[in-house]
A and B are shown apart, each in its own frame.
Chain A
Amino acid sequence: MKAITLTLLVSLALFASNRKNSPPETTPKPESAKKTDSSATVYSRGMAGSVHDFSKQTGRADGGCSACHIPHVQRVRKRPDSKTTDAVTADSEPAVELFRIQGQRQTFVPGRYTPGPTSLICLGCHDGTVASSTIGSSHAMLAGVREGFSVPDGFVWRDHPIGIPYPKNNREYHPESFVTAKGKIRMPEGRMECVSCHDPHNSAGVDKMLVMSNRRSALCLTCHIK
């Protein structure tokens, strides 16, 4: 008899503890469904396997680096209007001139923005004229602005401006020092360029090769006070 009660008690206790450990039945299902974290989405870090992995196209053993970089070229282009004298000379500094497509104009939208040298490299492919398959895709950012292609009438800039100086003393924007403090967002020569938001090397492993996750628009709100 005693044994039976003991086992009963034990099983009861076990049942109770099980109930405690198991998630409550009234889980707010929509909540859990809502919280799909972007970190859960599988994006591998690094170049290998990323959309910028051009190893197949180049057919070289360098993993496709040569699509954008060439070794042993210490040539740094500066903005024509730059006042800084000491240019950054890193080994991996892209050889802009080589990879700027012939005939590409400096000024994309007359009188508005002049993308800097780093952005020109990106636009060398991402201006939507490299291949017809890119038209309508995320490559087609600046279609038709290359020399030889006429700028369509009523051409409208549909993208975030690049090549613009980061606003100073503007209460709509965080100070530049705050924005660049974490080292993720870069402002080459104090200007907003493609690499301010995107990391072509995909080191963060975030969707759209962003430098950081844009969950809750965190990337936008690093600069914009909204």
Chain B
Amino acid sequence: MGSVMMRIVRQVSIVLVLFGCAARVCAQRSVVGSPHDLSVSGPGNLHALHEEQVCIFCHAPHNATGQKPLWNRNMPPTHYRIYRSSTTDARIDQPSGPSKMCLSCHDGALALGLVASRPANEPIVMSRRMMPPGPADLTQDLSDDHPIGFRFDRALFNRDGQLRNPDLLSKELPLGAHNEVHCTTCHDPHDNSLGDFLRIPDRRSALCLSCHDLHGWESSSHAISPKSVSARSVDPREKLPYQTVADNACTSCHKIHSAGQRNRLLRFRREEDNCLNCHNGSIAAKNIASEMRKPSGHPVHRFLGRHDPNEDPRLVQKHVECSDCHNPHASRSQIVNRVDRPGIGQISDTMRFVSGVDRGGRPIDSARFEYEVCFKCHADNASRQLRPTISRQVTELNTRLEFQPNNPSFHPVVAPRGNNDVVSLTSPWRVGSVMRCTDCHNSDSASQGSVVGVRGPHGSIHRPLLIDNYSTGGIRDGKSASLRLMLSLP
């Protein structure tokens, strides 16, 4: 009986699979009927009024421009504003070859009906003369679009470190004659069966990840999160293509064309919006946006366009952004939050692959200890305007130096202490324990010891960004000095 059922199930599944394949094959794979069909019977609002040929808008059998493949539009003489970024290792040039052909319409500057095979005074009469404003109009400013016209070769692969080997690039994604990336690397102008004329499906950003290889991405929360993205919850201006965070992958935060923030092609111009639009309780589990509104914290909303992933933390001007402490390509949620306490100060999983400054003051690419991330700003950087909150015998405003193990006395953040005379330590703290900055500087909601509260030094109601109320006058009544009591919580 069971075997019969199994057989039926198997047959049904085979039929379903076959049906799926058939549907895939039947999907629109021709330029005819696609948005690039500008003939009189083409779909959409943009079409010719009389012209019945489909190919003629781009190709002509006679009297074409002479450029392969029988190209029928004159190349725009435009000098485009091109993509620039401090983190790219590619040498980006003005668009050329097939990219320029695409831009002959998609820069919105040339009349659509103006083709080389017809006299200039008798262009094809179109329903709209020019490319209407919208996502298809890339404009002559290409600095907010993914770069094209650079060579994706072995040399770039060796320089960059976060790209894949171009020799192993799928044959479905063709590069130009000199390995340049063109519009046609990702788009097939004749086949819209996948939408957006993409060459391969972009589910889980398979298209992006064909070239990009980001440290820690595969296991990051953003790559595997099954959280649902409802209609326009992420970006009110654009509906994301897929249902979950994992399926949208790169496109959750990045826009490949007409990005809000140019240098990193981010969806929104303000850096924190790219994070807090999800991390405000709507999609992500923890509401970080409300933390940021607390009186003491890291005020990411106060700075715009100042953070640069390539910056030298010792010299950079004072600022803070989410990505100063988090790498959204590698970050993953810390499931077990405090069990490792008292640990050895190792960095949290939410801060994987974040740059830092080690205890010797040297910048490092990937911090191993939490304090190394804090030291990026709270150590040798001179742009902070500092005034001591408490007058001390020795005034030292460089937190890195304050924690040096050769100081007469220090909290064991960068190294354990061997002072056996500390009798007041409460379990689990003991001589030799190592602390983290966030043991004291943390959200007030983390002090409750529960795993639901938001953790991390985003914001707190206790100044200066303390996990609990700290008043030196309260020790006598037994209630306060709760900071110390908190530290004894398991």
Give A contacts to B, CB under 8 Å.
Answer: 33-36, 38, 138, 141, 156-160, 197, 214-217, 220-221, 225-226
Contacts and interface: CB of A to CB of B under 8 A. Distances in A.
Interface string B50-80: 1011111001011111110010000000000
Contact of A160 (B50, B53, B61, B65): B61
Given A214-B53, A215-B52, A221-B32, A159 B40 contact: no
B174 to A, nearest CB: 12
A217 B56 contact: yes
The CB with the most chain A CB atoms within 10 A, among B30, B50, B61, B70, is that of B61
Contacts, number: 62
A160 B62 contact: yes
26 contacts: A34-B41, A35-B40, A35-B41, A36-B40, A36-B50, A36-B52, A138-B63, A158-B66, A159-B63, A159-B64, A160-B70, A215-B53, A216-B52, A216-B54, A217-B32, A217-B39, A217-B54, A220-B53, A220-B54, A220-B59, A220-B61, A221-B54, A221-B55, A225-B30, A226-B30, A226-B31
A225 B29 CA distance: 9
B190 interface: yes
A33 B41 CA distance: 10
A141 B62 contact: yes
Given A216-B39, A217-B56, A226-B31, A156 B49 contact: no
B47 interface: yes
B70 A220 contact: no
A221 B30 CA distance: 9
A141 B70 CA distance: 13
Contacts of B63: 138, 141, 158-159
Contacts of A225: 30
Interface string B9-50: 000000000000000000000111000000111000001011
Contacts of B56: 217
B438 to A, nearest CB: 58
B124 to A, nearest CB: 13
Nearest to A157: B66
Given A217-B56, A225-B30, 16 more contacts: A33-B49, A34-B47, A35-B41, A138-B62, A141-B63, A157-B66, A158-B62, A158-B64, A159-B64, A159-B70, A217-B32, A217-B39, A220-B54, A221-B32, A226-B30, A226-B190
Contacts of B47: 34
A221 B37 CA distance: 13
**9 closest Cβ pairs, A-B complex:** A156-B66, A217-B54, A160-B61, A226-B190, A217-B55, A158-B66, A215-B52, A34-B40, A159-B62
Contacts of A159: 61-64, 70
Nearest to B72: A158
A38 B52 contact: yes
A160 B69 CA distance: 9
Interface of B: 30-32, 39-41, 47, 49-50, 52-56, 59, 61-67, 70, 190
A221 B47 CA distance: 19
A220 B60 CA distance: 10
B46 to A, nearest CB: 13
Contacts of A138: 62-63
B98 to A, nearest CB: 15
A38 B50 CA distance: 10
Contacts of B40: 34-36
Nearest to B57: A217
B53 A217 contact: yes
A216 B43 CA distance: 12
Chain A CB count within 10 A is highest, among B39, B62, B65, for B62
A118 B31 CA distance: 32
A153 to B, nearest CB: 13
A72 B121 CA distance: 48
Contact of A158 (B49, B55, B65): B65
A36 B40 CA distance: 8
Contact of B61 (A34, A38, A197): A197
A142 B54 CA distance: 25
B355 to A, nearest CB: 47
B29 to A, nearest CB: 9
